[in-house]
Amino acid sequence: MNMKLNIYQTDTEVLAALARHFADLSKQAIESNGRFSVALSGGSSPKKLHELLASEYRDSIEWDKVYFFFGDERDVPLTDAQSNYLMAKQTLFDPLGIDPSHIYAVQTALGAEEAAKDYTRHLIGFFDGHNACFDLVILGLGDNSHTASLFPHTSVLTDDSASVQALYIDEVKMNRITFTAPLINNAHHIAFLVYGAGKAEAVKHILEDPTDIQEYPAQLIQGADLQWFLDEPAASKLENK
Ligand SMILES: O=C(O)[C@H](O)[C@@H](O)[C@H](O)[C@H](O)COP(=O)(O)O
């Protein structure tokens, strides 16, 4: 496992660095196997990243060879303001005119359980029956140390299958559909995008506190190439940086 901390003074620099990373990885993947598969994060942090990719990288990434997935989704209609798909549609897919056949939205209209099974079937199809191995998984970090929808003290934290699961999350009073940690960890590259002082405590827990995955689920993320993209405020409680 290779982990790298990329710490920048401002969120603008963090976003620029991750956008460069995205572009570099997409070029490598497309050169080596003709496509780039990326699982996007939900929440608010990625909005500015998407907007940057859709503007400054419009012409430098072969978008017609990029395939989009979601590391987690809320159990709401895809037209709902809380939908991770809708956020990506508005900030990335529509501005770039992405072919809908390259976008794998979680079909929440099926109901959470069936949507998770359906999504797993799509992953099996896309990865030709092999264990899904994304070129890049982008993750955010909640201030309670969750990532994707791997929330503290939930059953999915001990699920050792590389799969997509649906579960009710009491903390947010809704069903969520989420990649398990093993599915995320199968990825060639994983990038945490975390900025703002509000995340400093969680970053410290994840990177420097003793392992306690029930309290700090993002500690489960241990991929082959794991990179953190942080601003100084989010990294401010780290002792070793
Ligand atoms: O569906 C989601 O909400 C995300 O996948 C979740 O894991 C998010 O990344 C964190 O909650 C951070 O969210 P912010 O970026 O809004 O702080």
Question: Measured between alpha carbons, how far is 76 from 132 in angstroms, rounded to an integer?
Answer: 25
For the chain, the domains span 24-200
Ligand 1 atom with the shortest distance to the CA of 140? 9
24-200 fold: Rossmann fold (3.40.50)
Is there an atom of ligand 1 within 6 Å of 178 CB?
Answer: no
pLDDT digit string (tens) for 117-139?
Answer: 999 999 999 999 888 999 999 99
**71-122 pLDDT, tens digit each:** 999 999 999 999 999 999 999 999 999 999 999 999 999 999 999 999 999 9
Q: What is the pLDDT of residue 2?
A: 85
Q: Which amino acid is at 3?
A: M
Task: For ligand 1, say whether the CB of 72 is within 6 Å of any of its atoms.
Answer: yes
pLDDT value at position 154? 98
Q: Is the CB of 152 under 6 A from ligand 1?
A: no
Q: Are 190 and 4 in contact (CB under 8 A)?
A: no
CA–CA dist 126, 139 (Å, integer): 21
Per-residue pLDDT for 66 more than 80? yes
Q: What is the pLDDT of residue 224?
A: 86
DSSP, collapsed to helix, strand or coil, labels residue 76 as coil
Of all atoms in ligand 1, which is nearest to the CA of residue 44?
Answer: 16
Q: Is the CB of 217 under 6 A from ligand 1?
A: no
Mutate which of 86, 138, 146, 150 for ligand 1? The one with the most ligand atoms within 8 Å of its CB, which is 146
The kind and range of the H/E element at 4 are strand 2-8
ipTM of the complex: 0.97
Ligand 1 neighbourhood includes 79 CB (under 6 angstroms): no
pLDDT of residue 241: 85
The C-alpha atoms of residue 4 and residue 17 are separated, in whole angstroms, by 13
187 φ/ψ angles, rounded to the nearest 5 degrees: -65, 150
| Model pTM score | 0.98
pLDDT at 102: 98
Return d(Cα 85, Cα 79) in angstroms, integer: 8
User: Could you tell me which residues come within 8 angstroms of residue 21 by beta carbon, excluding any fewer than 6 positions away?
Assistant: 191, 227, 229
Specify the residue with its C-alpha closest to ligand 1, atom 13: 43
Mean pLDDT of the chain: 97
**CA-199 nearest atom, ligand 1:** 17
Give the residue, by CA position, lying nearest to ligand 1 atom 11: 142
